[in-house]
Chains A and B, each alone.
Chain A
Amino acid sequence: MLYASKQPYAFRRNTAQMTQPPRPAPTSPMRRRVLRAVAGMPALWLAGLAPARAALPSYRLVDRLSWGVSDAELALATRLGSAGYIALQLDAQAGAELPAEAEAQLAACSSLRQPLLETLVAVEAQRKAAEAVADEEGRNVARDAYTRELNRRVREAAARHLLRALYSRAQLREQMTWFWFNHFSVFQYKSYIRAMLADYEESALRPHALGSFRAMLGAVAQHPAMLRFLDNELNLAGRGNENYARELLELHTLGVDGGYGQRDVQELARVLTGHGINLGEPPALKPDLQPLYVRRGAYEFNPARHDFGDKQILGRTIRGRGAAELDEVLDLLAAHPASARFVCRRIATWMVADQPPAALVERMATAFAGGDIRAALEVLVQDPVFAEGPDKFKDPAHFVLSALRAAYDRRVVLDTAPIQGWLSRLGEGLYNRASPDGYPLVSEAWNGSGQLAARFEVARAIGRDGAGLFKAAENMAPAQAAGFPQLARASYYDARAQARMRAQTRRALESAQTTQDWNALYLSSPEFMMR
């Protein structure tokens, strides 16, 4: 690939890049302290001790900070007041406080009971045993069993993700976990990535979702899911593979116009040599290389595969010395203003508008400096465009999850398979993005006629009887009485919700003959397509 801009980046504070925001940043140190203090005492808030003067949160604020308005969410936000609800959602340490039925389902998933290394060893052993079966029929049976095991693990990873998205109190953290998975996207059907998805999300992404971008970058770079997906295992001294290096610059940090060139990609690929996966014994190394070897679970840095020459990246010389080179480069990339701008622009595009205001992105980037995700989000959330700005068309994940939250609120689904099916049908299935760029963040990718027609069908299924959501997937427990949800209730009749409804939608809803039809229409309405 060739890039128009080949100037090496110099660490000079370019005035154009560093222009001051047009108005005072809303997050003064004082205000931040207050917010943190507030966030530190959620129990107090929940006990109903919110100040009487707390501003009423707007419908849009709640809809955007969460995976979608539900009765319980709107009531919680109203009780906490705007500032209190924002503080709760920005609290990186906030408890998930899942309903007991959801906790029980999470605990029942076996995927994370053993360390990732053991899981991968077992999965690889099963694959090799299947390939070793002599007769063709037996081999096919064994291969099928292997595939079923991998698919079971994907279902578990998806179930864990969806249960948290639907019910966790830390809604913004859950949204950002989705966002980061999409940002550092891996595709389930490459190799045995299916066996790594749950660990990837829960060890590399969720812990940092509201925290340090730099820490997440490092966790991703050492996770076998990414090393396998972008072929860095095959990136060896003298026999390079640029796949990960290119996407690390283009998709994960600087962005395609971030001011790097093909030379930087090649040099970064050299830095990345030797970072790979090892499920077996450590390699036999010459004595002088042994101290440089790194092993953490299935991740390994093998100095015998590393290119020890010096590298030039973005105008800086990286002295060849082993695994520490990558730390130095990730520091450089995480602190780079282009990364701040690129990442913040993506967050704002997904959360607020296809074309987020440039000044807002700049202020977010300033707060993000060095990788403070929470600070960037705070700027975004405090901006009037977040709570009061124009509509943003929901992507399929927001559409499906918000419909479920509106319809069933705290009633915990027993089987997430129908949800996974709807997401796939609408083109945004979990772990299904084959290319490393993640799903598109702009409306245009999702508001075609075929998508709308499919959404109406999904709306009808959700509003009717939940299409098997309340049938336990694997055990033989009797299905809960299905029954249809009653969508016309508190969060719909709330004045803030009513103010959003167009006359056309109101009239159509009034004409509904049955509750099921009312539900289907409400979830199909133009208001419900927007957040």
Chain B
Amino acid sequence: MHRRQFLAFAAASPLAGLCWSTRLWAAPEAGSRLLVVFLRGGYDGLSLLVPRSGFYAEARPRLALAVAGGATPGAIALDADWALHPVLADTLLPLARAGQLRFVPFAGTEDLSRSHFETQDSMELGLPIDARRDYSSGFMNRLAARLSGAAPIAFTEQLPLILRGSAPAANLSVRGKMAKSGLEALQPAISAMYRDHPLQSRVEEAFALQGRVRQDAAGAMQAGMAAGGSGNKGFETEARRIAGLMRESHRLGFVDMDGWDTHIGQCGASSEIGILANRLGELGRGLAALADTLGAQEWRRTVVVVISEFGRTVRENGSRGTDHGHGNTFLVLGGGLAAARAGSPVAGEQQAIEAATLFQNRDLPVLNEYRALLGGIMARQFGLDARALEAVFPQARPRDLGLL
């Protein structure tokens, strides 16, 4: 039997969840990894990757970030058209300059509901927009079924739609303090109860993951206290734990971050500070921590994609915020990205941002459809052929933007 056929067979069998072993096949793709970071709520990409456009400044009289010049602080110019939010100067800027980060503006889905739940679901499912909603699998699960030793894991409280499906996937939230629960003393007895039970491997996986993360957390806590820190820094701490686990044994990972639905007061007294700037800063520190914790060698084999269900309106609203929009800026990071074209870290189809080019006179259009974009990345990262890609993203036309 052809290996792929067997994988498909194993994945479809009702026992797949119970007898799966990652050791049956050697990993042929030299441990290449993918982590998807989902910013839930529709983050304002126009505050991360800032257009150097007159229309943008007019459309956002209170929110627009000016580009730094001379002694004036502000957004940091990346090329003739774009600049970076200054809160990312110490985290994402060095990655961009090192060629380990690309921004893909005008990215997103064709879903036009502008509903968080609708669009998150449709994006996680990864199906053509006019197809029947089939909730049986998400696209990362379909990818996992086509890789050997993928050991997919969601770093979330619940297994999200994106990882649901026939390939078994683990989930473990690594957010917060990861304090001892008092259950440790009972773990041996619980394990013993599940000996030779169909759920045995899952129970052991749960304990093993928890144990490792708690150990890492304890270590990091001590290191943090030694350095005078609190030992808990939100997404940065989470990202370090994720890197620790993925370095060891997981080729596919997923994590989400919420708090991006900034309808009201997304910036403070100046456009460079406030709720959104804090969140962006946390995201930047987390992504930099991932690269740092993985270490140069493993970072080269890793691709991180940051996505969000939709962007926000180009014009600000009456409450110092922005409303649900359409196109957005995705991020692609990794130690092994190809050299940037024309020296700019901004990739993909682009167009000028003007009143006349807005989608439905309010949003950025989607010029880089997410299934095509991610399919192109997966093809490179995992050497997937057309048939495998068709299974992950049916009817998509993967586009290679030359990022890897």
Binding site for B on A (CB under 8 A): 1-3, 187, 256, 354-355, 425, 427, 434-435, 437, 440, 444-445, 447-454, 456-457, 460, 502, 504-505, 507-508, 511-512, 517, 520-521, 524-526, 529
Given contacts A425-B157, A456-B190, A508-B192, contact A450 B135 (CB under 8 A): no
Given contacts A1-B131, A526-B193, contact A520 B186 (CB under 8 A): yes
Q: Is the CB of B14 within 8 A of A508?
A: no
A-facing mask of B89-100, CB < 8 A → 1, else 0? 000000000000
Residues of A within 8 A of B194 (CB): 504, 526
Among residues of A, the one whose C-beta sits closest to the C-beta of B163 is A448
Q: Within the assembled complex, what's the spacing in Å between the Cα atoms of A33 and B168?
A: 48
Q: Is the CB of B186 within 8 A of A460?
A: yes
Q: Is the CB of B190 within 8 A of A1?
A: no
Residues of A within 8 A of B203 (CB): 449, 452
Q: Within the assembled complex, what's the spacing in Å between the Cα atoms of A170 and B133?
A: 36
Q: Which of A187, A434, A450, A504 has the most CB of B within 10 A?
A: A450
Residues of A within 8 A of B14 (CB): 354-355
Q: Is the CB of B158 within 8 A of A447?
A: no
* Cβ contact of B159, chosen from A2, A448, A529, cutoff 8 A: A448
Q: Within the assembled complex, what's the spacing in Å between the Cα atoms of A425 and B193?
A: 24
Among residues of B, the one whose C-beta sits closest to the C-beta of A520 is B186
Q: Is the CB of B132 within 8 A of A504?
A: no
Q: Is the CB of B206 within 8 A of A504?
A: no
Q: Within the assembled complex, what's the spacing in Å between the Cα atoms of A448 and B131?
A: 28
Among residues of A, the one whose C-beta sits closest to the C-beta of B208 is A449
Q: Is the CB of B192 within 8 A of A450?
A: no
Q: Which of B131, B135, B172, B194 has the most CB of A within 10 A?
A: B194
Q: Is the CB of A453 within 8 A of B207?
A: yes
Q: Within the assembled complex, what's the spacing in Å between the Cα atoms of A434 and B118?
A: 9
Listed A/B pairs (9) with beta-carbon separation below 8 Å? A1-B130, A444-B17, A445-B159, A449-B206, A450-B159, A452-B206, A453-B209, A460-B181, A526-B193
Nearest CB on B from A500, distance (A): 13
Nearest CB on A from B3, distance (A): 24
B189 within 8 A of A: yes
Given contacts A427-B157, A435-B117, contact A1 B169 (CB under 8 A): no
Q: Which of A2, A456, A511 has the most CB of B within 10 A?
A: A456
B210 within 8 A of A: yes
Q: Is the CB of A508 within 8 A of B190?
A: yes
Nearest CB on B from A240, distance (A): 15
Binding site for A on B (CB under 8 A): 14, 17, 117-118, 121, 130-133, 135, 154, 156-159, 164, 168-173, 181-183, 185-186, 189-190, 192-197, 199, 202-203, 205-207, 209-210
Q: Is the CB of B189 within 8 A of A508?
A: yes
Q: How many A-B residue pairs have CB under 8 A?
A: 108
Nearest CB on B from A64, distance (A): 20
Q: Within the assembled complex, what's the spacing in Å between the Cα atoms of A457 and B154?
A: 19
* Cβ contact of B170, chosen from A354, A448, A457, cutoff 8 A: A448
Q: Is the CB of B186 within 8 A of A517?
A: yes
Q: Within the assembled complex, what's the spacing in Å between the Cα atoms of A444 and B194?
A: 18
* Cβ contact of A450, chosen from B117, B118, B172, cutoff 8 A: B172
Q: Is the CB of A2 within 8 A of B202?
A: no
Residues of B within 8 A of A511 (CB): 189
Given contacts A2-B132, A507-B192, contact A449 B117 (CB under 8 A): no
Residues of B within 8 A of A504 (CB): 192-197
Q: Is the CB of A450 within 8 A of B189?
A: no
Nearest CB on A from B183, distance (A): 6
Q: Is the CB of B157 within 8 A of A526?
A: no
Q: Within the assembled complex, what's the spacing in Å between the Cα atoms of A449 and B212?
A: 14
Q: Which of A3, A434, A460, A508 has the most CB of B within 10 A?
A: A508
Q: Is the CB of B170 within 8 A of A2?
A: no
Residues of B within 8 A of A526 (CB): 193-194, 197, 199
Q: Within the assembled complex, what's the spacing in Å between the Cα atoms of A256 and B205?
A: 36
Nearest CB on B from A345, distance (A): 15
Q: Within the assembled complex, what's the spacing in Å between the Cα atoms of A148 and B203?
A: 39
Residues of A within 8 A of B169 (CB): 448
Instruction: Other than A521-B193, A524-B190, give 10 A-B pairs with Cβ distance below 8 A.
Output: A435-B121, A450-B159, A450-B172, A450-B173, A452-B199, A452-B202, A460-B182, A504-B193, A517-B189, A521-B186
Q: Within the assembled complex, what's the spacing in Å between the Cα atoms of A517 and B190?
A: 11
Nearest CB on A from B154, distance (A): 8
Q: Is the CB of B157 within 8 A of A1?
A: no
Among residues of A, the one whose C-beta sits closest to the C-beta of B16 is A444
Residues of B within 8 A of A450 (CB): 154, 156-159, 170-173, 206
Residues of A within 8 A of B132 (CB): 1-3, 256
Among residues of B, the one whose C-beta sits closest to the C-beta of A424 is B157
Given contacts A1-B131, A425-B157, contact A449 B189 (CB under 8 A): no
Nearest CB on B from A237, distance (A): 22
Q: Which of B186, B195, B202 has the most CB of A within 10 A?
A: B186
* Cβ contact of B205, chosen from A444, A449, A456, A512, cutoff 8 A: A449
Among residues of B, the one whose C-beta sits closest to the C-beta of A1 is B132
Q: Within the assembled complex, what's the spacing in Å between the Cα atoms of A2 and B130?
A: 7
Q: Is the CB of B183 within 8 A of A427?
A: no
Q: Is the CB of A448 within 8 A of B171?
A: yes
Nearest CB on B from A229, distance (A): 11
Given contacts A452-B202, A508-B189, A526-B197, contact A447 B183 (CB under 8 A): no
Q: Within the assembled complex, what's the spacing in Å between the Cα atoms of A452 and B130?
A: 36
Q: Within the assembled complex, what's the spacing in Å between the Cα atoms of A425 and B171?
A: 13
Given contacts A447-B199, A457-B183, contact A524 B193 (CB under 8 A): yes
Residues of A within 8 A of B135 (CB): 435, 437, 440
Among residues of B, the one whose C-beta sits closest to the C-beta of A507 is B192
Q: Within the assembled complex, what's the spacing in Å between the Cα atoms of A498 and B135?
A: 39
Among residues of A, the one whose C-beta sits closest to the C-beta of B192 is A508
Given contacts A504-B193, A508-B190, A526-B193, contact A449 B158 (CB under 8 A): no
Given contacts A2-B130, A449-B203, A450-B170, contact A460 B197 (CB under 8 A): no
Q: Within the assembled complex, what's the spacing in Å between the Cα atoms of A453 and B196?
A: 18
Nearest CB on A from B36, distance (A): 17
Q: Within the assembled complex, what's the spacing in Å between the Cα atoms of A103 and B189?
A: 40
Q: Is the CB of A448 within 8 A of B202?
A: yes
Residues of B within 8 A of A456 (CB): 183, 186, 190
Residues of B within 8 A of A187 (CB): 117
* Cβ contact of A502, chosen from B118, B168, B197, cutoff 8 A: B197
Q: Within the assembled complex, what's the spacing in Å between the Cα atoms of A525 and B197?
A: 11
* 4 nearest CB pairs, A to B: A450-B171, A453-B206, A449-B206, A434-B117
Q: Is the CB of B190 within 8 A of A427?
A: no
Residues of A within 8 A of B172 (CB): 449-450, 453
Nearest CB on B from A442, distance (A): 10
Among residues of B, the one whose C-beta sits closest to the C-beta of A246 is B133
Among residues of B, the one whose C-beta sits closest to the C-beta of A443 is B17
Among residues of A, the one whose C-beta sits closest to the C-beta of B117 is A434
Residues of B within 8 A of A453 (CB): 172, 206-207, 209-210
Among residues of B, the one whose C-beta sits closest to the C-beta of A427 is B158
Q: Within the assembled complex, what's the spacing in Å between the Cα atoms of A447 and B157?
A: 13
Nearest CB on B from A281, distance (A): 30
Among residues of A, the one whose C-beta sits closest to the C-beta of B156 is A450
Residues of B within 8 A of A434 (CB): 117
Nearest CB on A from B330, distance (A): 23
Nearest CB on B from A399, distance (A): 13
Nearest CB on B from A330, distance (A): 23
Q: Within the assembled complex, what's the spacing in Å between the Cα atoms of A435 and B119?
A: 11
Q: Is the CB of A512 within 8 A of B157?
A: no
Q: Within the assembled complex, what's the spacing in Å between the Cα atoms of A460 and B164?
A: 27
Nearest CB on B from A311, distance (A): 23
Residues of B within 8 A of A448 (CB): 159, 168-171, 202
Residues of A within 8 A of B190 (CB): 456, 508, 521, 524
Nearest CB on A from B184, distance (A): 11
